Amino acid sequence: MFRMGSKEKGRQGAGTSVQLAAAFEEFPEALVLKNIKGQLIFLNREAEEIFKVARNDVLGKSAAALRSRSQATLRSALMIEIPENGETRFVLPFDSRTRAFAVSEISLRGNGADISALRVFRETTREEELSRLKSQFMSITAHQLRTPISGLKWVIEMLLSGEVGKLTESQRELLVRAADTSERMIRLIGDLLDVTRIEEGRFGYHFRIEADIAALVARVVEDLRARAQAKGISLVFMKPRSALPSVKIDVERFGIAVENIVENAITYTMQGSVTVNVELRGDMIAITVRDTGIGIPKDAQEKISTKFFRAENVVRLGIGGTGLGLFIVEHVMKRHGGDMTVVSEEGKGTTITLTLPVDPARVPEGEVSAEDAVV
């Protein structure tokens, strides 16, 4: 497998090859090794079992040379394109059912040159079925809860209006707290439903050319101003210095993304300010939300757009939340051909920037999968 420059190196290389082959053979995932010409030079037992082939029948052949019906599944698996340093998920038919896999490819080097590529197939059938069942459970639960909680909110609002009698100060205070709780529950249910729609590719987008993106962001800020004032936080919107170009967006979905970011900034800021500005940066429009809040621990920053993730400092301080908002935001921005970036220091604050392309041709066609959204 590896060439050595002398007899001693040859013996060492042979020993290394034997050890490597033995390790590959016992590996729990399917492994297929190709040489630089694309010919198969090794399959482990798991690969033989999954693809229902005998290694002696396929070794020395390229994917295109696997022509028999029994080799069709292996041929399809080898023809799948994989991004560099990435992973591709796919589904293959096996007799009466389909099986899901995640496949990655590693280049192996010898004497300074690529000599082969190792393709690793990790079966994800059970993982994806569990994910589907979890999403189904979330969707059913959210739908079942939404109606009674909405009804409860309506009753509380009716009581607060005084339609059924005058309230004492303590009664009003309790009802206001109940109204806030019901509102949080309704937002949680909305987030759960949005997440299940994203995972099922049903989130739904309706794009149009929006001439005044700054005005849209300003409206979101104004809608949240009362919440900031209630906490004694300064909420500032910085108008752009000059007119911004039009952008292609889904107004409702993009509004949800901006609202999530600004609302988070208010929630996690105990004192100080939240500043929102919109500006043109090259061929992108950037919406930046900067706060003086609790910040995000360094080891948590890569996980903040993971479903249900909540940083340790947030949990420790007992701050409420679902851990779903940034998952939704990142999906929305990817679907718009943009991105979300985070810069934060624990104890000093967080800056989150949402970017949108000015060129409408950069907005992807069709739905973006949940997997694509968090890469």
Contact 293, 319 (CB under 8 A): no
Q: What are 322-364's pLDDT values in tens digits? A: 788 899 999 999 999 999 999 999 999 999 999 999 999 998 8
**pLDDT at residue 340, rounded to an integer:** 96
Local confidence band at 238 (pLDDT 50, 70, 90 cut-offs): very high
The whole model's pTM is what?
A: 0.63
Local confidence band at 116 (pLDDT 50, 70, 90 cut-offs): confident
Backbone angles phi, psi at 206, to 5 degrees: -130, 100
**pLDDT at residue 111, rounded to an integer:** 59
Q: Taking all residues of the chain, what is their mean pLDDT, rounded to a whole number?
A: 85
d(CA 94, CA 64): 20
Hey, CA dihedral for 74, 77, 81, 86, is it positive or negative? negative
Q: What is the mean pLDDT of residues 240-254?
A: 93
Asked whether residue 96 carries a pLDDT value surpassing 80, the answer given is: no
Lowest-confidence segment of 32-41, 46-55, 354-363, 365-374 by average pLDDT: 365-374
**pLDDT at residue 326, rounded to an integer:** 93
**pLDDT at residue 1, rounded to an integer:** 42
Asked whether residue 14 carries a pLDDT value surpassing 70, the answer given is: no
Asked whether residue 31 carries a pLDDT value surpassing 90, the answer given is: yes
Q: What are 277-291's pLDDT values in tens digits? A: 999 999 999 999 999
Local confidence band at 267 (pLDDT 50, 70, 90 cut-offs): very high
- The residue with greater pLDDT, 18 or 288, is 288
Q: What is the mean pLDDT of residues 239-259?
A: 93
Contact 82, 105 (CB under 8 A): yes
**pLDDT at residue 24, rounded to an integer:** 82
Lowest-confidence segment of 192-201, 308-317, 341-350, 359-368 by average pLDDT: 359-368
With residues binned 3-state (H G I as helix, E B as strand, rest as coil), the percentages for the chain, rounded to 5, are: 45, 25, 30
- Domain boundaries 208-373, corresponding CATH code: 3.30.565.10
d(CA 152, CA 154): 5
- The residue with greater pLDDT, 143 or 308, is 308
Helix (H, G, I), strand (E, B) or coil at 198: helix
- The residue with greater pLDDT, 12 or 351, is 351
Local confidence band at 366 (pLDDT 50, 70, 90 cut-offs): low
d(CA 22, CA 28): 12
**pLDDT at residue 141, rounded to an integer:** 79
264: exposed, middle or buried (C-beta count within 10 Å: 0-12, 13-18, 19+)? Answer: buried
Asked whether residue 292 carries a pLDDT value surpassing 70, the answer given is: yes
Contact 189, 146 (CB under 8 A): yes
Q: Which CATH class is domain 7-123?
A: alpha beta
Q: What is the mean pLDDT of residues 250-278?
A: 95
**pLDDT at residue 202, rounded to an integer:** 78
Local confidence band at 5 (pLDDT 50, 70, 90 cut-offs): very low
